[in-house]
DNA sequence: CGGATATATGTGTATATGCACTTTGTCAAG
DNA sequence: CTTGACAAAGTGCATATACACATATATCCG
């Protein structure tokens, strides 16, 4: 008895994830504001801090971000002297992005603010639940989503 | 034995939701592309379809979207004749956004593409799991997230 | 009525996002 | 060495996002 097998628009997975992303981003951004960084920028600095210098492509991959999006997102960081972008010695097509001293300093400041936001969020949402949520979201990211134009 | 009580940056809830949103949006957008709509635009038309004309503020609220963001997101839709924006008779400060005939037609086209994307996603991720995920994301949206500047 | 206050929306500015297309550099086959 | 496939990054364009500030209207109260 599939009374209503038609997909309900309230149940759009894409909309729900995007809405939640807007909501949680505004929250974290409030805390990061004092450091002068946005959440996206903080994510970039974090990866560079813990993974060391990376090329644009490699950095984009770990950030689950389009290459061209990242290419533009690093420009304000470079302008403010938080990262340095230099051509790779091994492959002159590639560019290496690395954290500067100023970038490390800024990261440490933002890190404190981030910790407060993270703790505050989990206080409201639940630490265990947040952990479960992240696991489910990582599964989304890992899921093989074939394109609309797939053949075979 | 809290060996490592320091929050791990890999566990940033904000980053994880945003990354998943980028990933899933690209997937749904591939399917919607044939209709000439983006996922955000499809969401807007969907709400207008099922809730009837709404003011900017009311529409922004149901979309979990900043008022000013929505104000700009409806402009391409108005330009393409999919929605009509008119001053409210009751309150001249307010504007009512409503779906046009062309908007309804476009919505029906996009609806088919959306259904395929939704089904394809749930085929890969699991229908039950997707349902659970949406419930957890709605809880994020519903969670009272006090600002960084909260007092008392 | 008239001013204080609250509400609905618009604008300026800056970042975020990604597709299609282009440019530049690498590398292997001939 | 040359050429052709491939790989890394840049550019043009359009939309998405939201804060701070500005404007217009409504509403309440003395």
Instruction: Give the separation between CA A101 and CA A103, rounded to whole angstroms.
Output: 5
Instruction: Give the separation between CA B93 and CA B56, rounded to whole angstroms.
Output: 11
Range of lowest pLDDT (A36-50, B1-15, B51-65, B120-134):
B1-15
A148-151 long-range Cβ contacts below 8 angstroms, 24+ apart: A148/B30, A148/B31, A148/B33, A148/B34, A148/B113, A148/B116, A148/B117, A149/B30
Answer whether residue B30 is part of any domain.
no
Q: Is residue B144 very low, low, confident or very high in pLDDT (cuts 50, 70, 90)?
A: confident
Q: Measure the CA angle with vertex A137, ends A13 and B2; round to 5°.
A: 150
Answer whether residue A132 is part of any domain.
no
Q: Which residues of B touch A20 (CB under 8 A)?
A: 17, 21, 64, 137-138, 140-141
Q: Which residues of A touch B30 (CB under 8 A)?
A: 147-149
pLDDT for res A144:
74
Residue A117 has pLDDT above 80, yes or no: yes
Residue B131 has pLDDT above 90, yes or no: yes
Answer whether residue B78 is part of any domain.
yes
Structural domain total, chain B: 1
The angle, 0 to 180 degrees and rounded to 10, between the axes of the packed helices B13-32 and A101-125 is: 90
Answer whether residue A151 is part of any domain.
no
Answer whether residue A84 is part of any domain.
yes
pLDDT for res B6:
54
Mean pLDDT along residues B8-37:
96
Q: Provide the residue range defining the domain that includes A53.
A: 12-120
Instruction: Give the separation between CA A51 and CA A57, rounded to whole angstroms.
Output: 14
Answer whether residue A37 is part of any domain.
yes
Which pair of structure tokens corresponds to residue A81? 């002297």
* A74-92 pLDDT tens trace: 999 999 999 999 999 999 9
- CB–CB of A37/A29 below 8 Å? no
- CB–CB of B43/B29 below 8 Å? no
pLDDT for res B3:
45
pLDDT for res A2:
46
Task: Classify B82 in phi/psi space as left (phi over 0), alpha (psi -120 to 50) or beta.
Answer: alpha
Instruction: Give the separation between CA B68 and CA B71, rounded to whole angstroms.
Output: 5
Contacts of B18 (CB under 8 A, 6+ apart): A21, A24, A25, A39, A40, A43
Per DSSP, the three-state class of A84 is: strand
Q: Is residue A129 very low, low, confident or very high in pLDDT (cuts 50, 70, 90)?
A: very high
Q: Name beta bridge partners: A21.
A: none
Pairing of strands B95-99, B54-55: antiparallel
DSSP B54-76: EEHHHHHHHTT--HHHHHHHHHH
Cβ < 7 Å from strand D, B residues 73-112: 73, 76, 91-93
Protein residue minimizing CA–C1' distance to C15: A73
Per DSSP, the three-state class of A54 is: strand
pLDDT for res B9:
81
Calculate the angstrom distance between C1' of C7 and CA of B94: 9
Mean pLDDT along residues B89-116:
97
Residue A140 has pLDDT above 60, yes or no: yes
Decide if A134 and B13 are in contact by the 8 Å CB cutoff: yes
pLDDT for res A78:
98
Q: Is residue B7 very low, low, confident or very high in pLDDT (cuts 50, 70, 90)?
A: low
Nearest chain A CA: its distance from B87 CA (Å): 27
Answer whether residue B41 is part of any domain.
yes
Answer whether residue B22 is part of any domain.
no
Cβ < 7 Å from strand C, B residues 66-85: 67-68, 71-72, 85
- CB–CB of B56/B70 below 8 Å? yes
* A8-60 pLDDT tens trace: 888 999 999 999 999 999 999 999 999 999 999 999 999 999 999 999 999 99
pLDDT for res A120:
97
- Residue of B5, B7, B8, B24 to mutate for A, most A C-beta atoms under 10 A: B24
Instruction: Give the separation between CA A19 and CA B40, rounded to whole angstroms.
Output: 10
Residue B135 has pLDDT above 50, yes or no: yes
Mean pLDDT along residues A135-147:
88
Percent of chain A with pLDDT over 90: 86
pLDDT for res A44:
98
Task: Give the CATH number for residue B76.
Answer: 1.10.10.10
Using the Cβ of B107 and the Cβ atoms of chain A, whether some distance falls under 8 Å is answered with no
Residue B74 has pLDDT above 90, yes or no: yes
B22 touches strand C (CB under 7 A): yes
């Amino acid at each position: 008895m599939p009374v209503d097998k038609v997909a309900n628009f309230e149940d759009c997975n894409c909309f729900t994830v995007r809405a939640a992303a807007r909501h949680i981003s505004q929250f974290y951004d409030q805390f990061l504001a004092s450091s002068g960084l946005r959440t996206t920028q903080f994510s970039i600095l974090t990866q560079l801090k813990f993974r060391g210098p990376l090329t644009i492509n490699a950095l984009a991959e770990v950030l689950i971000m389009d290459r061209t999006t990242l290419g533009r997102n690093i420009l304000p960081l470079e302008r403010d002297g938080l990262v340095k972008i230099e051509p790779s010695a091994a492959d002159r097509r590639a560019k290496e992005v690395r954290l500067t001293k100023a970038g490390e300093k800024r990261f440490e400041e933002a890190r404190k603010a981030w910790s407060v936001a993270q703790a505050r969020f989990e206080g409201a949402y639940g630490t265990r639940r947040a952990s479960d949520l992240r696991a489910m979201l990582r599964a989304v990211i890992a899921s093989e989503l074939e394109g609309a134009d797939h053949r075979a």
